[in-house]
Amino acid sequence: MPRTYQHDVLIIGSGAAGLSLALHLPADCRVALLSKADLNQGSTYWAQGGMAAVLHDRDTVDAHVEDTLAAGAGLCKREAVEFTVRNSRRCVEWLVSQGVDFDLREDQSVNREFHLTMEGGHSHRRIIHSADRTGRAISEVLTEQALAADNIEVFTHRVAVDLVHGDSRCQGAYILDQKSERVDLFQARAVVLATGGASKAYLYTSNPDGASGDGIAMAWRAGCRVANLEFNQFHPTCLYHPKAKSFLVTEAVRGEGGKLLLPDGSRFMDRFDQRGELAPRDVVARAIDHEMKRLGADCLYLDISHQPRDFLESHFPTVMQRCRELGMDMASEPIPVVPAAHYTCGGIIVDTAGRTDLEGLYAIGEASCTGLHGANRMASNSLLECIVYAEAAAADISEKLPRLGAPSSAPPWDESQVTDSDEDVVISHNWDELRRFMWDYVGIVRTNKRLERALHRVNLLQSEIAEYYGNYKVGNDLLELRNLAMVAELMIRCAIERKESRGLHYTLDYPEPLAEARDTVLAPSNSPL
């Protein structure tokens, strides 16, 4: 039988955003924290690079703000950028207080000074890190703290189906328990979507399997606006190997002197940007894509073999180990790389407290569109955004909770009219088709015709998925496919609206940027606004 759970706050997602919000809420607040798989399986855990913050006297808030605005290609909201950057130092201090062990400079004598690295688009060394596994360090520490907190109840292997909303507010969500295959009802006075992005809409991605846009799709179905979903950041350097799957090579490799090479061993980035390998990600990824297509090459190469082996083992142990497992030695040879979908720059529209259009519903992290990233996320600003907006949302929720009544009771999930599916192959085939045509038609280079074809294909897929969803019991694969198809449609519709080339994405029909950068905002028919 389906179960009903009652909490003060329901947090869907257990990455940096969800975990830090849970820990910022008052100790007397009853919190449900839901994870799609085991804890530490999301994108945060696999984030290699680091977290941007103004931590050195030679750096300034203004410099970080201006770097971010420049990388965002005109679409960043200055208010959001300043809000995020102003709070960067305090959020780092909070992470340190929780127990995150960031790397320190080797040459320090008395004072504890963090080792800061350089990444594309930044004018200063401002990336605080824990070797090349910063996300893992943050995730493990915050997970440990959440599990130890008496007021936080953690639920693993739980997949969100849809939000429950009525009386002009969000009141909870239907959640699939993957182990019992039962859909339970979770109700709360405030609901937070910390579900990550939708990179799995593409054939090649650097993100784990859970990045299926669940929160974005659910918020849209509940009536929330979305914006700028046509901007998907492609990480320039994902390892190219048949067994590598989705392994990215941190941008810090280029920050420490790594050079991008053509198959003949020659450099090329200086032809595209005066900053060379340290140009922002959109410039580098598009340059690599251009050269691969020009040459008909399967991949290009990243070379940092001029650095001592001890230096590489110290700074990039994760990358070194993975390369060794695949028969490559980063210390003695260039490694093959390709761009891959990495980050969803747009998402659910929120304010600086993470509030969506629906009362009682918040969105933080990659699922949200705060105005920080614009047309292209600057390296390592995303972990910072998670922590800053989690803190802000927690403060807003804490202030409002005493005045919020309990949610109205909702009916349990009804699956009396559905049956077990005997055609799961349909799901896998549709999944493959979706990711392939998104890669072919809605990638780095686009045309009107390609986008029209993609929209036609995704609409056909959605009608088939809707029939399947209406007749069979839900499972994780079906739910992810349903959400991915929904978000893919929104990506395509946003891309069709953008009659220009901006950021990473180049449109052959509109090769120049417009004089004024504008958000592509989509509003569902059931929007409360």
Instruction: Point out the residues that are catalytic.
Output: 281
How wide is the angle at C-alpha 352 spanned by C-alphas 56 and 492, nearest 5°?
105
* Strands, E assignment, 415-495: 445-446
How far apart CA 502 and CA 74 sit, in angstroms, is 9
Torsion, Cα 447 450 455 461, to 10 degrees, reads: -150
Query: By the 8 A CB rule, do 258 and 390 touch?
Result: no
Q: Where are the alpha helices (DSSP H) in 47-99?
A: 61-71, 78-86, 88-98
Residue 450 buriedness (CB in 10 A; 0-12 / 13-18 / 19+): buried
CB neighbours of residue 226 within 10 Å: 29
How far apart CA 10 and CA 32 sit, in angstroms, is 5
Query: By the 8 A CB rule, do 49 and 380 touch?
Result: yes
Tokens of 403: 């005045």
| Size of the chain in residues | 529
How far apart CA 490 and CA 478 sit, in angstroms, is 19
Closest CA to 15 of 162, 142, 101, 153: 142
- 265: DSSP letter: S
Closest CA to 366 of 205, 178, 125, 129: 205
